[in-house]
Chains A and B, each alone.
Chain A
Amino acid sequence: MSQQPTVFVVDDDPAVRDSLRLLLESVGLVAETFSSAHQFLDATEPEQSGCVLLDIRMPGMSGLELQRRLVARGITLPVIIITGHGDVTTAVQAMKTGAVDFLEKPFNDQVLLDRIHDAINRDTQARRARAEQDEVGRHLATLSPREVEVLDLIIAGKANKVIALDLGISEKTVEAHRARTMDKMQVRSTADLVRTVLLYRTSRPTADSPPDTP
């Protein structure tokens, strides 16, 4: 995770590949090049950060297919598509499959580098957000069943008194649960607690949350 973001160049033209590596290295970026989609798929791990620079027209596997397989393997690297001239249809398709950007060959180097920096930033932010979410998940896992019940009712906007009535426990006990939950979740206010948990649950709809609707 702490490794440097890498630009993965996938293009079957050796000259384009080699020249892209030179260009990227000239601005201090780390570049790895691959001559085919298969080669790239074999070599990448979900932990690697950076972005993919992908020529959409390649023999063997199409750029679109590669995008699908990346997603299937949990590799969330942003993909910048490079196209030949006037390949609008393919580019549109690529964007629909989740490419973040596309460039027409031959491209202006500054534009390319800007897009790459954008993509890397996007990846870094996404990874940070995911890391935060993972942490929230870990915290949530430490809650006892009772604490989860209390948490759900807090999120439903109920006051301690109502929660106590609902669960058939004393208001004091509810207060104790609430305090411990906020402690475990490492939040300072109820508002913070509600926001953090809701954010987590909406980002992972299948996560270990009980159904919200009674």
Chain B
Amino acid sequence: MGETDLRMIDNITETDMPRVPGDLREIFEQLPLGCFVLSNTQRVLEVNHSAARLLKVERHALLGRYLNRYLSQRHREMLQARLAILADGAPETLELEFLDWDGMRVPVEARVVRIGIGPQTDACYLLTAADLSERCRAEERLRAQQAELARAYRFLTLGEMARGLAHEINQPLTAILNYANGGIRKLHNGQLSSDASRGLLEQIATQVQRAADVIRRLRSLLQREPPGRERGEVNVLVAEAVKLTQTEVRGYHARIRVALGRNLPTVQVDQLQFIQALVNLILNALESMGREPSITPRLVIATRWDGTNKVEVAIHDNGPGTTEEITAIMTDPLFSTEYSSIRMGLPVTRAVIEGHGGRLWATPNRHRGMTLRLALPCAEENTDVTTTDRVRGG
């Protein structure tokens, strides 16, 4: 029915309208879009300059050839599948990647429409292609910038974590050195019984084990690179972040309490990134509390499940920071007037959490200080599990 209407309109146009000067062919050539007229076997029946430019070939080199030559296997199939389902007159759009003469990928937004008219002719198609490489390049640049930012952030927090780990390793090393040196002296003075030396060696072994554990933790942290999302338990990640900030907590003479919620669903996270985000939030709270020397810094870290599809981590402090200030810092890295790598890392921390589909926000405490809260969506399969349970239960 639509077809008949169109023809009627065509007829009217031809009789009443003044004719377009020159050849329609010229207009076709001048179109900024790459246009291909394809046979049903996808041979190029007609093509304009823009299309030839897109593929970096001469127009005549395309004519009569199969377009497949300029498509990868995957995109060949994508195009074929789309053409097969085309209804008369109804265009379809799809994103395709051409391979130009040099084999470089050319991403395009393609629109295909059937133009084969009449039952006696084989179906033909018009494929118009808008070059997306500029947009892709911009996206590529953005991705590179984000990766760079993430790298800088990782470096920054790794630096903080490395400091903590260095201190942690220093403790057992100090003990080992003392045990060994003390043992040597006692041995030299004939003060060391064989029982005492056994005890001493056991102590040394324990401390070596302690240092090795720190190194193992460091290694397992680093091995998670390159970043990838994996299933993780928020409580385990929080515990790791707390361990990593132990030295800083000691340095600030802060009291720390960790209240881990029970039966939390798992989350899908880049574990290293998430631990770094937590480390940064803890350091930020410490730094904020450290600005008021008259108080004993108290840090409470709590985790809980919100009952639906989010796991929450709350970091309470009793520092002088306000929610307005922290919100401003989180959105604008240059807001803070004093230089602090931790505070400058907050926007990235927020970006990391939001990148995980989560949210980071601040709320004031009833008495003093404030609470930074972050919510992460539960991993997909958690809900599957509940659904299955429900089905089974019902």
B216 close to A (CB within 8 Å): no
What's the nearest-Cβ distance from chain B to residue A157, in Å? 50
Contact check, B178 vs A20: say whether CB atoms are below 8 A apart.
yes
Q: Is the CB of A106 within 8 A of B203?
A: no
Are A105 and B171 within 8 A (Cβ)?
yes
Tell me the smallest distance from the CB of A137 to a CB of chain B, in Å: 38
Contact A84 B170 (CB under 8 A): yes
On whether the beta carbons of A59 and B255 are closer than 8 Å, the reply is yes
A15-B175, A15-B206 in contact; A22/B200 too (CB < 8 A)?
Answer: yes
Give the docked Cα–Cα distance between A107 and B171 (Å): 11
- Cβ–Cβ contact B247 & A84, under 8 A: yes
* Cβ-closest chain B residue relative to A61: B253
Is A62 positioned at the interface, with any CB of B under 8 Å from its CB? yes
Closest Cβ of chain B to A152, distance in Å, is: 46
Q: Of A23-31, A160-168, A182-190, which binds chain B?
A: A23-31
Q: Any chain A CB within 8 A of the CB of B183?
A: yes
**Which residues of chain A from 37 to 63 have any CB-CB distance to chain B below 8 Å in the complex?**
57-62
Q: Please indicate the chain B residues that have their CB under 8 angstroms from the CB of A58 in the complex.
A: 250, 253
Contacts A15-B210, A105-B170: A22 and B179 contacting too (C-beta < 8 A)? yes
Report the nearest B residue to A37, measured CB to CB: B253
Q: Is B185 an interface residue (CB 8 A)?
A: yes
Residues in chain A near residue B176, CB distance under 8 A:
19, 106
Contact with B along A103-127 (1 / 0, CB 8 A): 0011101000000000000000000
Q: Mark B169-189, 1 if CB is under 8 A from A, else 0.
A: 011111111110111011001
Q: Which of B178, B210, B249 contacts A19 (CB 8 A)?
A: B178
Most chain B beta carbons < 10 A, residue from A61, A106, A107:
A106
B254 x A59 contact (CB < 8 A) = yes
B217 at the interface (CB under 8 A from A): no
Q: Is the interface of A mostly helix, strand, loop or mixed?
A: loop
**Alpha-carbon distance A170/B304, docked complex (angstroms):** 94
- B250 contacts A26, C-beta separation under 8 Å: no
B170, A85: Cβ atoms closer than 8 Å? yes
Cβ of A106 and Cβ of B251 under 8 Å apart?
Answer: no
Chain A residues near B177 (CB, 8 Å)?
Answer: 19, 106-107, 109
A23 touches B203 (CB 8 A): no
Q: Does A198 contact B (CB under 8 A)?
A: no
Which residues of B lie under 8 Å from residue A59 when comparing CB positions?
249-250, 253-255
Contact A109/B181 with A15-B171, A26-B189, A57-B247 known, Cβ cut-off 8 Å? yes
Closest to B172 in A: A15
Choice from B207, B249, B251, B255 contacting A15 with Cβ under 8 Å: B207
A132 at the interface (CB under 8 A from B): no
List CB contacts (< 8 Å) of B186-206 with chain A. 186, 189, 191, 200, 203, 206
- Per the 8 Å Cβ criterion, residues 146-182 of B in contact with A are 166-167, 170-179, 181-182
Q: How far does the alpha carbon of A62 sit from the alpha carbon of B249 in the complex, in Å?
A: 12
Distance (whole angstroms) from the CB of A92 to the closest CB of chain B: 15
Q: Is the CB of A84 within 8 A of B203?
A: no
Residue A16 interfacial (CB < 8 Å): yes
A residues near B247, Cβ cutoff 8 Å? 57, 84
Distance of B298 from chain A, by nearest CB (Å): 11
Q: Is there contact, CB below 8 Å, between B178 and A13?
A: no
* Interface 1/0 per residue, B234-266 and A, CB below 8 Å: 000000000000010111011100000000000
Given A59-B253, A84-B247, the answer on whether A19 and B179 have CB atoms closer than 8 Å is yes
Q: Closest residue of chain B to A82, judged by CB? A: B174
Q: Which of B172, B173, B182 contacts A26 (CB 8 A)?
A: B182
Report if A192 contacts B (CB, 8 A): no
Considering the complex, give the chain A residue whose CB is closest to the CB of B250: A57
| Residues from chain B with Cβ under 8 Å of A20 in the complex | 178
C-alpha gap A62/B296 in the complex (Å): 11
Contact with A along B213-231 (1 / 0, CB 8 A): 0000000000000000000
Report how far A26 CA is from B184 CA in the complex, Å: 9
Q: Within the assembled complex, what's the spacing in Å between the Cα atoms of A84 and B248?
A: 11
Contact A13-B171, Cβ < 8 Å, known A20-B178, A26-B189, A85-B166: yes
Q: Is the CB of A19 within 8 A of B253?
A: no
A18 proximal to B (CB < 8 A): yes
Q: Which residues of B contact A109 (CB under 8 A)?
A: 177-178, 181-182
| B178 A57 Cβ-Cβ under 8 A | no
Contact residues of B with A, CB < 8 Å? 166-167, 170-179, 181-183, 185-186, 189, 191, 200, 203, 206-207, 210, 247, 249-251, 253-255
Selected A-B contacts with CB under 8 Å, 23 pairs: A15-B172, A15-B175, A15-B207, A15-B210, A16-B171, A16-B175, A16-B178, A19-B182, A19-B203, A23-B178, A23-B181, A23-B182, A26-B189, A26-B191, A27-B185, A57-B250, A59-B249, A59-B255, A60-B253, A84-B167, A85-B166, A106-B174, A106-B176
Q: A16-B174, A26-B189, A106-B177 are in contact. List 16 more A-B contacts (CB 8 A).
A: A13-B171, A15-B171, A15-B207, A16-B171, A19-B177, A20-B178, A22-B186, A23-B182, A57-B167, A84-B247, A85-B167, A85-B170, A105-B171, A106-B173, A109-B178, A109-B181
